[in-house]
Copies of this chain bind each other. A is one copy, B any other.
Amino acid sequence: MRILVSNDDGIDSIGIQILAKYLSEIAEVTVVAPHKEQSAVGHSITMQVPLRISQYFRNGEFFGYAVDGTPADCVKMGVRNIMNTPPDLVFSGINHGSNTAINIIYSGTVSAAREAAIMDVPSVAISIASTSIQNFDFAGKIAQIMAKLVLSRENDLPRGTLLNVNVPDLPQEEVQGILLTKQGKSKWDDVYEERKDPYGRNYYWLKGDLIEVDKDLDTDQAAVRNKYVSVTPIHFDLTDYTTYEKMKNWEIEKLFYETKL
């Protein structure tokens, strides 16, 4: 079994070390990850400038390939150029901080796994719901279990659908279980804090509070808050089918006559 491992925190982060270590116990692992941190880059890809690949060593040993691009770039390049044949699985993480609810939209970690899904490669994104992480080893175990799950269910999981996994930052004995969830509806209440630089000019830092509206354990956000591991199947078909059906009654075809006025 061959697994491509990537992330958005950069190839030198602890999360990807732990992920590679645990997945190496069950598969042949190739690491292709961003040279520098790429948090909140969303599904950005690099087209205007070329990319470079360098070999990254840790403690004198080859660890993986560093790409000076985004998480999605790393997966594209890993699958297309670095690995000779596509891997059985792409795994992205372990991210510092949860990727639940609206954060999925902004997440570089999820976009790496989604890029794999676009290329018809099964994939998983994994994040820990904390930025001061204590319990990486439990998340590593969960990564192993999820890799085995996805590979054993290869025929049941449609191409284009990936699993987004979020793990509470707790010792294993405090975790309550694993739950199947949907993307929550919690959102950020963002503001830009206005500051002045030493030359008297304004600049703005984004800051915000997450408004937690999710209460039910069948949402990723509430599951993790209530000490469960959350597993959400997500895809990249953004069509709002409910609205699509309703809009059939809008008869937008008729608006074409207005262009002729």
On A, residues with C-beta under 8 Å from B are 37, 39-48, 50-53, 72-73, 76-77, 80-81, 102, 104-106, 111, 114, 118, 138, 141-142, 145, 149, 153, 156-158, 161, 172, 175, 177-180, 182-183, 187, 190-192, 194-195, 201-206, 229, 231-244, 246-248, 250, 252-253, 255-256, 258-260
Known A106-B45, A256-B178, A256-B229: A52·B203 in contact at CB below 8 Å: yes
A133→B48 CA distance, assembly (Å): 20
A233→B238 CA distance, assembly (Å): 8
Q: A42-B72, A149-B255, A232-B239 are in contact. List 14 more A-B contacts (CB 8 A).
A: A40-B47, A44-B106, A50-B204, A77-B204, A80-B192, A104-B238, A141-B258, A153-B250, A161-B240, A161-B243, A177-B253, A178-B252, A180-B248, A183-B238
Query: Which residues of B sit under 8 angstroms from A178, Cβ to Cβ?
Result: 252-253, 255-256
A167→B248 CA distance, assembly (Å): 19
* Most B CB within 10 A of own CB, among A45, A76, A145: A45
Q: Which 4 A-B pairs have the closest CB atoms?
A: A42-B43, A42-B42, A50-B203, A233-B243
Q: Are A252 and B149 in contact (CB under 8 A)?
A: yes
* Most B CB within 10 A of own CB, among A40, A114, A242: A40
